[in-house]
Amino acid sequence: MSEERDEHPNVLIAAFEGWNDACQAATNAVRHLVDRYDAREIRHISCDGYYDYQVSRPMLCRALGSPRIIWPQTTFYEITISPTRRIFAQIAPEPNYRWREYCRQSLHIADELDVDHIVTLGSMFANCPHTRPVPVDVSHDLEVENPSEGYTGPVGIPTVLDDMAREQSFDTTSLWASIPQYTGNDDCPKATLALLDRLGEELGLTFDPGDLEAETRVWEAKASMLLHCSDQLAEYVHHLERDWDAAEEARRTAAANPAQAEQLVKEAEDFLKNL
């Protein structure tokens, strides 16, 4: 393994349409990289046996006047970020069937591409305000600092891919953006940009934001308009802002004075025990 390989391991970024992709934020992050950089398709996984076509329907397209059926499929890209850096990306609808076989096939392709590190992207609706930075949860190798606070419950294909990749000795990272649930299902460029920024931090890269910053301002303005139309929604968002600001203050306190933060936690626990 070369020194350059040690410094810049081959990375595969994976995002899947559907349950794991609120407002298409995760898959739009991959699409943004494909559109902004020199990208070429290098591998595919056939749709056969993986999809329920009443859920992931084929699309009718017309190229040069001729109709053509486009079937759901997985596409792998090689993306050249700079003359010295490249990454790989996988994008697909979430399969309906045979997840373990699908992940084995995905990891076989990752192995063929000499990938060391797999990064899955996801987005979910959450109770957070659109007026604050988009929260992006990061976990490495499916581990969290405090297991008692880690997520338990239903999972999607990114988590299954992470788990199987870890078992095959790939390094894994999972990035999940939280999107305000009251903003609807339209594309959320703010979450896409947040994922790209956090992904860049993980990989030691700075990605070109393109039009995402301007689109984010438009998205925020539309979200703010919703508050002008509903006093109840405005009060709800104000409550979310207070909670977000309090949590941020607690994190800053913990970073600046861990002993004081530990004491505050102990006092809170003692208070709750006496209720």
pLDDT of residue 113: 97
Q: How far apart are CA 27 and CA 121, in angstroms?
A: 8
Q: Is position 157 within any domain?
A: yes
Residue 119 sits in a domain whose CATH number is 3.40.50.10900
pLDDT of residue 95: 96
Residue 143: pLDDT band with limits 50, 70, 90: low
Same domain (yes/no): 133, 44: yes
Is residue 30 a contact partner of residue 135, using CB atoms and an 8 Å limit? Answer: no
Residue 120 pLDDT greater than 60, yes or no: yes
Same domain (yes/no): 154, 241: no
pLDDT of residue 121: 98
Same domain (yes/no): 162, 236: no
Same domain (yes/no): 200, 235: no
Residue 251: pLDDT band with limits 50, 70, 90: confident
Same domain (yes/no): 264, 147: no
Query: At which of 157, 179, 210 does a domain end?
Result: 210
Same domain (yes/no): 23, 133: yes
Q: What is the DSSP string of the chain?
A: --HHHHHS--EEEEEEESTTBGGGHHHHHHHHHHHHSEEEEEEEE--TTT--TTTS--EEEEETTEEEEE---EEEEEEEEETTEEEEEEEEEPPSS-HHHHHHHHHHHHHHTT--EEEEEEEEEES--TTSPPPEEEEETTB-SSGGGS--S---HHHHHHHHHHHTT-EEEEEEEEEEGGG-SS--HHHHHHHHHHHHHHHT-----TTHHHHHHHHHHHHHHHHHT-HHHHHHHHHHHHHHHHHHHHHHHHHH-HHHHHHHHHHHHHHHHT-
pLDDT of residue 80: 97
Is residue 61 a contact partner of residue 68, using CB atoms and an 8 Å limit? Answer: yes
Same domain (yes/no): 67, 198: yes
Q: Is position 42 within any domain?
A: yes
Q: What is the mean pLDDT of residues 102-126?
A: 97
Q: Is position 202 within any domain?
A: yes
Residue 4 pLDDT greater than 90, yes or no: no
Q: Is position 219 within any domain?
A: no
Residue 5: pLDDT band with limits 50, 70, 90: very low
Our count of domains for the chain comes to: 2
| Structural domain that includes position 132 | 3-210
The pLDDT tens digits for 261-272 are: 566 555 555 544
Buried b (16+ CB within 10 A) or exposed e, 91-115: bbbbbbeebeebbebbbebbeebeb
Q: What is the mean pLDDT of residues 72-96?
A: 96
Residue 104 pLDDT greater than 50, yes or no: yes
Q: Is position 226 within any domain?
A: no
Same domain (yes/no): 254, 193: no
The pLDDT tens digits for 48-75 are: 899 999 988 888 988 777 888 888 899 9
Q: What is the mean pLDDT of residues 208-220?
A: 97
